[in-house]
Chains A and B, each alone.
Chain A
């Protein structure tokens, strides 16, 4: 089975990791970090970048121990088939939940900005069908989606030059006024946005030159950190503290001040364009969760993607209140934090201990 795997070059890992990190989170990130760390939010962002950088290093050293294995296979290897499957099931549920929350939060965003009349399920269905179409093309297509998605949306960064005209530098002062505890809380909140680097666990077998992977994944997470940093700093400088606290998607609110001679309200372009930004996330998460189903239940991936999509589609009918959704996103974020910020450290030491025991015996 491993022989006809489709390999991609190492630099593609940069695009995959970066695009899976950037998604719905960044639109609201400046606010939620600001709520914790106030004008020192940018320190939190930098710290969380540093944190992820260390974790990436750990992840790669775990993966390097098991050649051509994804996390599911490593779990089975470390803990045996039964316990491994339980952990894997948990991870699959996490990814399905993450996929669900991305789709729902996007549909919510698009309903807020311009499509009040459209039914929610239309959006969910459309996004799911496109994702299924992409994932059924296999990993090569998903990698291509990540690559092209970044290429087609990176210019959005330059749109920020217009809000730059009305910023107030004094808003970031005084520096270091937040307590370390507040900053750490900020790091915790930033992590929700920065999640997505865990895809590295699952794309590893597909990468051709594994030695270059560390470089490109570090590059990816620092690039993400840079972009989150830019948006956070500009948001802090742009909004007054009270304004920033009430804008749920400060980035979109900021984009809505952008004017072109031929476009009055740019956010109506930016919000649909965000589909291209979340599209890699959707593809990767669906791919990874269906891969998990295959590992645990030996369900073919092409059936798995349909099963997962049907589950998400049906669930989307039940949870419709904004409050419930928010609660759900927070929970997913929390689980994600423990799963991908804390657990890899644990896994790293377990794998070291286990390999030491084996080398002794």
Chain B
């Protein structure tokens, strides 16, 4: 408590008012206690009025005259968070964060006490990532309640929550969350370096932050996992990843991400291994189909209708006989239509949105076929690929696939299956080139990590998971899983 602030650093009410541009929200109660005068400065709408009344104003008024000194107040004011050593800039930002500035005129010393009353949404069920099974809680906009959720779920002294501030004009708090004896220091160092290099006036949301942190800004693919589910967040942290929480943003960032982690859902762990393996394959298949099926349709009908068995060819031929467009144009039209429906469904008010989506889909789908603008087969394929893209557990990966589909369709129209294969080559090379926090994106497939496949491609019974995935380079590979005891009994014993 030897810190005594410099006299010049403690402005009085007038000066603060000047700095805050004569804001009408800025209030000052001047308390006259004996010979001394105390200014209690705060911003009206940001503080909790009861706290200020009870624990600041009433407290000071009840004090005997001799106790009204800076050092006594500093030690005894009944509020949990008190700041005593600060710079002028910090006073303003603290005031704007809901602190109360108590200025002792005689001593010209001041202290800041926290009486903030942040607007908080109550903790609710997750909206964008829905689980059938497992915890339903989701992050909210408040950093402190997010930290609370994490701390309550992960009771470990090595859980670090390093605080940083980001933004030049609008300062925002940011927490880097990791487990100290698990997370690789290189990854942490890279992340911190990247965060330091961000010089921007403001970061609106964590999704913007994640885009700033990406290694390749031109890629279609998300390079960080964005999640609003604490359990997913904690699962990743426990496997040696790093998480970032930004204040005022309900979506957490997890890195380093790899391609396959976007197809994981925490539900895969909660469900039995057989089902989750099956579901994961369905997801991969849906993704590949969503990316390629429409392109196949275009390629087959433009170049290689010999490929189709004759019975199927008759069906397709009949349904396409009325269509005046080449397959490429037809497919792009339908894909755009589906995207339009999706976008309209997302933008419309929720009640109207759903009806519009269904009615629009059925009416437009039916009508276009009956009018002879598209074939039935294409409607099925387009609907399948739309469904496939939505099956991604992480929304951003679904959007990436939806966008990446269009180049494939165009390539298929230009050079048939060869075009698609060229597209696949580009995609493979692109995924090989991508990195997330300098870790390879296509791991554990390349570089090949056999033991990690059970994390990212399939699921096995839980006793197989005694080691953490090595793609994140955890410092401590072993998780002590429960021992699967083999009984040495013979068939006729028990």
Contacts and interface: CB of A to CB of B under 8 A. Distances in A.
Interface of A: 8-9, 110, 114-115, 118, 122-123, 126-127, 130, 133-134, 137, 140-141, 144-145, 147-148, 152, 261-265, 268-269, 271-273, 275-276, 279
Given A144-B442, A276-B425, A268 B304 contact: yes
A144 B425 contact: no
Contacts of A273: 421
Contact of A130 (B304, B309, B414, B426): B426
21 contacts: A8-B447, A114-B303, A114-B416, A118-B415, A126-B418, A130-B426, A134-B429, A137-B432, A141-B432, A145-B425, A145-B429, A145-B432, A262-B312, A263-B307, A265-B307, A268-B306, A268-B307, A269-B307, A269-B417, A271-B417, A272-B420
Given A137-B432, A264-B309, 20 more contacts: A8-B447, A9-B447, A114-B416, A115-B303, A115-B416, A115-B418, A126-B419, A126-B422, A130-B425, A130-B429, A137-B433, A141-B429, A144-B442, A147-B446, A261-B309, A263-B308, A272-B420, A275-B418, A276-B424, A276-B425
A115 B312 CA distance: 22
B2 interface: no
Contacts of A140: 432
B332 interface: no
Contact of A123 (B312, B417, B418, B424): B418
Given A114-B416, A141-B433, A148-B428, A130 B308 contact: no
A145 B445 CA distance: 11
B325 interface: no
B123 to A, nearest CB: 43
Nearest to B313: A264
Contacts, number: 89
B21 interface: no
Contacts of A133: 426, 429-430
Nearest to B422: A126
A243 B453 CA distance: 46
Contact of B421 (A137, A148, A263, A276): A276
Nearest to A263: B307
B310 interface: yes
Contacts of A9: 447
A194 to B, nearest CB: 24
A275 to B, nearest CB: 4
A264 B306 contact: yes
B417 A272 contact: yes
Contacts of B308: 263-264
A279 B421 CA distance: 10
Contacts of A134: 425, 429, 432
Among B414, B417, B442, which residue has the most Cβ atoms of chain A within 10 A?
A: B417
A210 to B, nearest CB: 18
What is the predominant secondary structure among interface residues of chain B facing chain A?
helix
Interface residues of B, number: 30
Nearest to A122: B415
Contacts of B59: none
A76 B252 CA distance: 55
Contacts of A127: 422
Contacts of A272: 416-418, 420-421
Contacts of B425: 130, 134, 145, 275-276, 279
Contacts of A110: 418
A277 to B, nearest CB: 10
The A interface is mostly helix, strand or loop, or mixed, namely: helix
Contacts of A276: 421, 424-425
A271 B418 CA distance: 8
A262 B309 CA distance: 6
B285 interface: no
B235 interface: no
B281 interface: no
B429 A264 contact: no
B133 interface: no
A330 B251 CA distance: 61
Interface string B335-375: 00000000000000000000000000000000000000000
B5 to A, nearest CB: 50
B270 interface: no
A148 B417 contact: no
Nearest to B430: A133
Which of A9, A127, A144, A265 has the most chain B CB within a 10 Å cutoff?
A144
B417 A268 contact: yes
Given A9-B447, A137-B432, A144-B446, A264 B417 contact: no
A263 B428 contact: no
Given A144-B432, A145-B428, A279-B425, A263 B303 contact: no
B442 to A, nearest CB: 7
A284 B321 CA distance: 47
B327 to A, nearest CB: 15
B310 A275 contact: no
A275 B418 CA distance: 8
Contacts of B422: 126-127, 130, 275
Contacts of A152: 428
A130 B307 CA distance: 26
A145 B426 CA distance: 10
Contacts of B430: 133
Central interface residue in B307, B309, B425, B432, by most chain A CB within 10 Å: B425
A115 B419 CA distance: 11
A71 B310 CA distance: 55
Nearest to A138: B433
A161 to B, nearest CB: 19
A74 B447 CA distance: 30
B55 interface: no
B427 to A, nearest CB: 10
B448 interface: yes
Contacts of A118: 415
A123 B421 contact: no
A224 B147 CA distance: 57
Nearest to B414: A122
Contacts of B420: 272
Nearest to A151: B445
B444 to A, nearest CB: 12
